[in-house]
Amino acid sequence: MDLFTDVAEQYSAFSHDARDSPCFEQWAKAVSDDPDVLAWISSLPGIKRQPNLVFAAARWIGVPAPGPYAALREALLADDGRIRQTILDRATQTNEVGRLATLTPVFARIASESGRPLALVEAGASAGLCLYPDKYNYNWVPQGRLYGAAGPTLSCTVSGEEPLPTTLPAIAWRGGVDLNPLDVNDADAMAWLQNLVWPEQEERRARLAAAIDMARVEPPTLVRGNILTALRAQIDVAAEHGAVVVFHSAVIAYLTAEERDEFYALMMELVARGVCRWVSNEATNVLPQITATAPESPPDRSSFVLGLDGQAVAWTHGHGASMTWL
């Protein structure tokens, strides 16, 4: 889904991407065919028109989900200002720790190649919940399992021949950059993160709650800033602790096309100079330079492409439920 395209097209595309939530799938399809609601959404600032944010804001003020589209429609068109203000004040900073089931195999590969503990720097970290790959157990179906951590188990269906890790990567430091970093001890911010989890997905909601509890024990080092300008300083701090890995997942879509090109050039320069390794996990249209390195087409339009140092290594499910090695 392109966050900078026509509103009707954006909601139509989201109706396909949101197949894991029948409610959001139906809402998005209905919005894409509803001129009055499209006009209401179009009155919002560009990046604020995205389905995830509009739907989450409506739920935040009490629209039931799962629930009928009619209730959403009525709430938006009769909004007393609360939904609009929520949209303007908040952002879709979803921390989906399920993605670690697809990221961790690459982290483990980097740790093995470097022979050092990793210092993780997340670009667009939100609350930093994805900075704990060493705290989870993994069930990669049907290839194998990796247990040994105290945290919950993340499951992922895997196809392809790439070997999966047999040990958890050692993490020496965890940090990140975000325009609005969230404090795991801020009850309101964490309630908003819970609200961002799609309807019907209670397993994701429980996983998020466990991730928040885990992060509260050992909070990450998060700084406020633009990843295009503030990332390098965090990398310098991380380098004092281990082999630096910059990573991100479903973040670069929020940059303009020009900013995406700038970010790609920045990361390729840092990789070429040996400053860090780079793990990317984005929708296939977000960093086309990486998608173009894949030897085959993605299995479906909602796939993400997992990249290492600018090269595609796998297709992945947006929430970490599956991956296909290339």
pLDDT tens figures, 35-44: 999 999 999 9
Q: Is residue 2 part of a domain?
A: no
Could you tell me if 48 and 115 lie in one domain?
A: no
Is 52 in the same domain as 166?
no
The pTM (predicted TM-score) of the whole model is 0.89
Per-residue pLDDT, 94: 78
Of the three residues 58, 89, 120, the one that is the final residue of a domain is 89
Other CB atoms within a 10 A radius of the CB of residue 149 amount to 16
Residue numbers of the domain that contains 13: 7-89
Whether the predicted pLDDT of 143 surpasses 90: no
Judged against a pLDDT cut of 60, whether residue 231 lies above it is answered with yes
Co-location of 318 and 201 in the same domain? yes
pLDDT of residue 2: 62
* Structural domains in the chain (count): 2
Which whole number is the average pLDDT over 187-210?
A: 92
Same domain for 25 and 173, yes or no, is: no
- Average pLDDT over every residue of 141-146: 89
Q: Is there a single domain that holds both residue 69 and residue 124?
A: no
pLDDT higher than threshold 70 for residue 151: yes
Q: Give 161 or 30, the one with higher predicted confidence.
A: 30
With respect to residue 137, please indicate whether it lies within any of the assigned structural domains.
yes
Q: 176, 1 in Cβ contact below 8 A?
A: no
Q: Judge whether residue 5 has pLDDT over 80.
A: no
Tell me: do 22 and 59 sit in the same domain.
Answer: yes
Specify whether 196 is located in the same domain as 222: yes
Task: Indicate whether 296 pLDDT > 90.
Answer: no
More confident residue, 143 or 263: 263
The residue type at 196: L
pLDDT of amino acid 4: 67
pLDDT at site 113: 96
Residue 70 sits in the same domain as residue 203? no
Closest by CA position to 220, among listed 149, 125, 295, 319: 125
Same domain, 180 and 45: no
Question: Of 46, 62, 89, at which residue does a domain stop?
Answer: 89
- For residues 38 and 103, membership in a common domain is answered with no
- What's the mean per-residue pLDDT of the chain? 94
What length is written for the chain? 326
- Please tell me the predicted confidence (pLDDT) of residue 19: 84
18-32, 63-77, 140-154: the lowest-pLDDT one: 140-154
Tell me, yes or no, whether 132 and 47 share the same domain.
no
In a domain, 224, yes or no: yes
157-194 as b/e, with b when 16 or more CB fall inside 10 Å?
A: ebeeebebbeebbebebbbbbbeebbebeeeebbebbe
Question: Judging by beta carbons within 10 Å of its beta carbon (0-12, 13-18, 19+), is residue 137 exposed, middle or buried?
Answer: middle
pLDDT at 1: 53
User: Does residue 1 lie in a domain region?
Assistant: no
Q: 3-state DSSP call for residue 307?
A: strand
Edge-first strand listing for the sheet containing 221-224: 144-146, 137-141, 153-159, 322-325, 311-316, 304-308, 277-283, 243-249, 118-123, 171-178, 221-224
Mean pLDDT of 187-193: 95
What would the mean pLDDT of 269-283 be, rounded to a whole number? 97
